[in-house]
Amino acid sequence: MNIRLFSYFVTLIIKSRMEYRGAFLIGAVGQITGYAANYLVIWLLLQNFDTINGWSWSEIAFLYSLNILTYAIGASFTYTPMVSLDQTIINGDFDKYLTKPLSPFTYYLANLFNIGYIAHIVISLLVLLWSITQVDVSWTAVKIIYLVLAVISGSFLQAAGLVVIGSLSFIFLRVRYLFEIFFKLKEFIAYPISIYGTLLQMILTWIIPIAMINYYPSIYLFDDSVLTNKILGIVALAIGPLAFYISYKLWMYGANKYQGAGG
């Protein structure tokens, strides 16, 4: 499936959602309020303590926004399709995605693209842009390009997590609670992972590499004079697309094995 067809699907979805503009806007306001509260709590906390492990309010805001922004981008494409995959299989509706002359993966994603994450994107992008002006970083062209790539890579990594869990639907059928575990795990990267013990830091870096979403890009941008920051910063750019490719293969493997739920 090419990009033009994909974006045509997305346009159709946006148009149909905009039929109910009022409900959509109220929903967006609700979500923005929700995230604003999370920012506010951290801000209030840092009124007392100035820094968490040497991270100031603007640096934490940068770290936090990077996580929400990349999640929102990744989840726009993958959350709804992956979370509803088990039910789609159980209902026997998955077959229609296999009988079109298109890749079932991209066709399925395009069909269930979710525009609802726009509120997440608005608030996290606003705070991110604000924090960029506040943090103690001399922004060069290289660093700006790095940040853009880090957002792309992070979005792929977030999407990969959702696709991996979704592809387990082909085997176990009911996987909804695994998504909850994924979200609980992501709570760990809301703050700099340096506050945890070494073992947990290693797990979050190499085994479930979610620290690559926001922590390593942040420390690379804040201080590239340290060699390990540089190396891990570069690794963070590669790991997102790589993880997404692996998750895609896993998903396609599952789809090929798919026999229907006895329907």
Contact residues toward other proteins (CB under 8 A) are 23, 26-27, 29-31, 33-34, 36-38, 40-41, 44-45, 47-49, 52-53, 177, 180-181, 184-185, 187-188, 190-191, 195-196
Report in angstroms how near the CB of residue 201 gets to other proteins at its nearest. Answer: 11
Q: What are the structure tokens assigned to 135, written together?
A: 């943090």
> Could you give the CA distance from residue 217 to residue 196 in angstroms, rounded to a whole number?
18
Neighbours of 152 (CB within 10 A): 15
Q: Which is nearer to other proteins, 41 or 238 (CB)?
A: 41
Q: What are the structure tokens assigned to 138, written together?
A: 């001399």
Report in angstroms how near the CB of residue 175 gets to other proteins at its nearest. Answer: 11
Report in angstroms how near the CB of residue 182 gets to other proteins at its nearest. Answer: 11
Q: Which is nearer to other proteins, 136 or 187 (CB)?
A: 187
Give the Cα-Cα-Cα angle 260, 181, 165 (nearest 5 degrees).
30
Give Cβ neighbours of residue 182 (< 8 Å, ≥ 6 apart): 161, 162, 165
Q: Which is nearer to other proteins, 72 or 150 (CB)?
A: 72
Q: Which residue has the tokens 């994107």?
A: 121
Report in angstroms how near the CB of residue 205 gets to other proteins at its nearest. Answer: 16
Phi and psi of 55, rounded to 5°? -95, 125
Q: Which is nearer to other proteins, 183 or 245 (CB)?
A: 183
Q: Which is nearer to other proteins, 27 or 241 (CB)?
A: 27
Q: What is the CA radius of gyration of the chain?
A: 19
Report in angstroms how near the CB of residue 12 gets to other proteins at its nearest. Answer: 23
Q: What are the structure tokens assigned to 188, written together?
A: 């760990």
